[in-house]
Amino acid sequence: MRQVVLDTETTGLEAKDGHRIIEVGCIEIVGRRITERRLHHYVNPERASDDGAVAVHGLTDEFLADKPKFADIADDLLAFVRDAEVIIHNAPFDLEFLDAELARLGRPPFREHCAAVTDTLKLARELHPGKRNSLDALCERYGVSNSHRTLHGALLDAGLLADVYLAMTRGQDSLTIDIAPGAALGEFGPIDASQLIVLPASGEEVAAHEALLDAIEMEAKGTSIWRGAAVS
């Protein structure tokens, strides 16, 4: 499924108090690869931003005064997310603002314009309960560099979140499973290696394996990691 990572910046914290969207940034992921497709708009909110919000994103009322209104960019945004899974960090916050903007235009809620919405904050809390799961914390945890991020920006944050999301969902990236001595596995208790059933490879399987390694080493012009790690 095509995925779109989305972030917004706003004039304040509460849509119900009349605060508005001032920036939207989207980045496309296809086949777990970030593509070159982007969507980015600054938006004239038709109201002033709170001082605290400006301190976060740095977008002043003067800068936004000549930007298009949300009504002018709505079709572009909805076309970009159509039929995609939309990935948002702390999705309820952004959805509240998006739904309020769409309601002003007589449009259905945001979820009705895309295939699904995934909240990476919810996912992070499930993976790392009791830990900090802000975007900055996740960047640090997954080794995503955010050193260039001095202020929040919708497209910048969407790019960071895309890298974090791919890291969070990549699954097992090692050929080994390391379990601490005595670690319990649910109701079955610790693993007793002496009880594991070992099925040795047949002669034909060994020969096929060696032939494959020969081909890999010929192409790579070096010893494969499997032979290098082999033990008797």
Rounded Cα distance between 224 and 212, Å, is: 10
Read off the tokens for 158: 């969407």
Read off the tokens for 166: 């791919």
* Helix (H/G/I), strand (E/B), else coil: 42: strand
Alpha helices in 144-201 (DSSP H): 154-168
Rounded Cα distance between 112 and 140, Å, is: 34
Rounded Cα distance between 158 and 89, Å, is: 9
Phi, psi of 103 (to 5 degrees): -60, -35
Rounded Cα distance between 135 and 158, Å, is: 10
Phi, psi of 77 (to 5 degrees): -65, -50
Encode burial over 121-132: b for 16+ CB neighbours within 10 A, e otherwise: bebbeeeeeeee
Which residue in the list 40, 128, 148, 152 is annotated as catalytic? 152
Whether 148 is catalytic is no
Among all residues, which ones are annotated catalytic?
Answer: 152
